[in-house]
A = this chain, B = another copy of it.
């Protein structure tokens, strides 16, 4: 990973932790502690996208921190709920025991619920104009909801009991919701904050989101659990359609590379201000976890 990208990612993580600390105000209760645990240890890719999109529009990190924290709260809540026994029943996440394994299912349920609420508390904070904060909040709600992330989740569950495995179009549609919607929201947030045209960042975010999911499917085949930080080989084991099962390993890699080129091309309007976003796109398909 290029140094500049590494430092931007860890800077994003630090800012998210700081904002989260302010929001939870040293609450020592179980749920607050489990909320911090759930957000910790992630790559903070989505927060990084918010900060870099803001930077490309000349906006300081302080202005972007509430939105960056909000999207990491939504992402973390979705992982906590996904990992529960009634969903994927996973024991390992980000290399550590999942929330319902450290605490219990009731706590995991409340942690996810409270993180979603905290996201909408966070996105409303800060010094941006009220209209920009409202636009961010409304679009985050759509990206997180039934026509975005939760909708993709629901399609994923429905696919498990379907007679036929999904087609490439169907799986692309599913992933556009399940992982794509939040990544797209994160990429475009900077333009929304600045009141600028979000179209170039939207194209970048859409291509990046799909490349990210294809890379995830490749990791599920090629990675090992210790490095990836969660269970691998689960999809193939279930006979579930993935980009790898549909395109083959080489085909999936080629498709991901094309998407990364597409993502980088979409940023031309930003010149070298978007170099870190380009590095991130390349990193997404080379990552090992």
- List the interface of chain A (C-beta within 8 A of B): 24, 27, 29-32, 35, 77-78, 81, 84, 86-87, 104-110, 112-114, 116-121, 124-125, 130-131, 133-134, 137-138, 140-142, 144-146, 148, 150-151, 153-154, 157-158
Contacts and interface: CB of A to CB of B under 8 A. Distances in A.
Indicate how many identical chains form the complex: 2
30 contacts: A29-B158, A30-B158, A31-B151, A35-B146, A77-B113, A81-B109, A86-B104, A86-B105, A86-B106, A87-B106, A110-B153, A112-B113, A114-B145, A114-B146, A116-B117, A117-B141, A117-B144, A118-B141, A118-B146, A120-B137, A120-B138, A120-B140, A120-B141, A121-B138, A121-B142, A121-B145, A124-B138, A130-B130, A130-B131, A133-B134
Closest 6 CB pairs of A and B: A117-B145, A86-B105, A124-B138, A121-B141, A120-B141, A130-B131
A77 B134 CA distance: 22
Nearest to A34: B154
Nearest to A77: B113
Main secondary structure of the interface of A (DSSP, over half): helix
B114 A141 contact: no
Nearest to A27: B146
A110 B154 contact: yes
A117 B24 CA distance: 21
Contacts of A112: 113
B109 A87 contact: yes
A196 B144 CA distance: 32
B124 A146 contact: no
A119 to B, nearest CB: 8
